[in-house]
Amino acid sequence: MSKQKKKSGKNKLLQALPFMIPSFIGMIVFSFFPVVISIFLSLTDWNGLEKLTVNTIFEHFVGLENYIKILSGSEFWRVLGHTLYYIVLYIPLVFVASMGIALLLNKKKKGTMVFRVMYYIPVLTSWVAASLIWKWVLSPKYGIFNQILAILGISGPGWLTSEVWAMPGIVLASVWKDMGFFGLFLLSGLQAIDPTYYEAARVDGANKFVTFFKVTLPLVTPSIFFCLIMALINAFQLFPQVQIMTEGGPNGATQVMVERIYTYGFSYFKMGYASAYSWLLFVIIFVLTMIQMRLQNGWVHYES
């Protein structure tokens, strides 16, 4: 019987193979092959303008020189600090906003579907359009944000023209754009909770505050864990809002990892240097993701 099942499984695989081959070819040509090439490019000083051949790679081979220059210079650590500063501001804010949206949309009331669509619209908006909108919103002179603060008697800062406030301004735009995306995943986690847990909590006399922290939050930790990994990877890949809203300024206050990769590759034409930067970014993301995977057993609760 087991042999028949194995034979049947092989036959199904052979039948599916012709349909899978185009996807495999696309993955190899557009994903795997460029990744392999970028590894070799990171060991060269290729400028991106010469025709790329095997001989070109050997002619421009510099070994680990790009990595040594990056890690021994002050720019990398400064840019990494800016990225981490963004993450420290972004992740707590986006999770609080996303959880608030999820809790609001989890209530069974009329018009809930309309609000679900409304909160998800920013996610569907391109970053170019969103960044231009927020560039206007945070304008020191004409921006609506400072006008609202003025009504409250608060003198708003220069936001994108201030070294202190430029990054928080980018964080606000990012939270607005992403909270609907993470809110949707958290909402699915909330709706997967068995109602009997809440019934038991009510019988025990738990109020809403206690129920949220003792029942809801622990049971939604699998969704939170997924969102945390996605948010961290997304944060390290911060680029379009920086490029459009500040271009890395003022005075380099919003220069981040991907912005440096883009600048070195397409402005300074140092493709080898940019490739080395990108691989260092990959290592950072990989290590932090592995750490999160190892630590999840201590706080993520999966229902058996």
Q: Can you give the residue range of the structural domain that contains 160?
A: 85-253
Residue 77 lies in a domain: no
In a domain, residue 15? The reply is no
Say if residues 244 and 131 touch (Cβ distance below 8 Å).
Answer: yes
Contact of 254 with 131, CB cutoff 8 Å: no
Beta-bridge partner residues of 44? 61
Q: Where are the alpha helices (DSSP H) in 28-64?
A: 33-41, 54-59
Give the integer Cα–Cα distance in Å for 279 and 72: 16
> How many Å apart are CA 259 and CA 265, to the nearest integer?
10
Look at residue 127 and tell me if it is in a domain: yes
Burial (CB count within 10 angstroms: exposed 0-12, middle 13-18, buried 19+), residue 40: middle
Does any domain span residue 132?
yes
CB distance 198 to 215 below 8 Å: yes
**Is residue 180 a part of any domain in this protein?**
yes
Cα–Cα distance, 100 to 94 (Å, whole number): 10
Which among 142, 143, 130 has a CA at the least distance from the CA of 170? 130
- For the chain, helix (H) and strand (E) counts, in that order, are 16, 0
Identify the CA nearest to 241 among candidates 228, 251, 230, 254. 254
pLDDT digits (tens, 9 = 90+) for 112-155: 778 888 888 999 999 999 999 999 999 988 889 999 988 888 88
276 is a domain residue: no
Say how far apart CA 214 and CA 277 lie, in whole Å.
43
Q: Which two tokens stand for residue 139?
A: 């304008």
Count Cβ atoms below 10 Å from residue 61 Cβ, excluding itself.
14
What is the residue-level pLDDT of the chain in tens, covering all 304 positions?
Answer: 456 666 666 777 778 788 888 888 888 888 888 899 999 999 999 998 888 888 888 899 999 999 999 999 999 999 999 999 999 999 999 999 999 999 988 887 777 778 888 888 999 999 999 999 999 999 988 889 999 988 888 888 899 999 999 999 999 999 999 999 999 999 999 999 999 999 999 998 889 899 999 999 999 999 999 999 999 999 999 999 999 999 998 999 999 999 999 999 999 999 999 999 999 999 999 999 999 999 988 888 886 5
Q: Which CA distances in Å does 157 have to 28, 144, 169?
A: 49, 13, 10
Write down the residue that tokens 């995977």 correspond to. Answer: 293
CA distance 185 to 255: 30
Would residue 170 count as lying in a domain?
Answer: yes
How many whole angstroms separate alpha carbon 135 and alpha carbon 47? 33
263-270 long-range contacts (CB < 8 A, ≥24 apart) are: 265/48, 266/48, 269/47, 269/48, 269/49, 270/45, 270/47, 270/48
Distance from C-alpha of 186 to C-alpha of 95, rounded to nearest angstrom: 9
Q: How far apart are CA 35 and CA 279, in angstroms?
A: 10
Domain contains 277: no
The CATH number of residue 159's host domain is 1.10.3720.10
Domain total in the chain: 1
Which positions ≥6 away from 63 have C-beta within 8 Å?
A: 43
All residues at 6 or more sequence positions from 217 whose CB lies less than 8 Å from its CB, including other chains: none
Local structure of 193: helix, strand or coil: coil
* pLDDT for res 5: 60
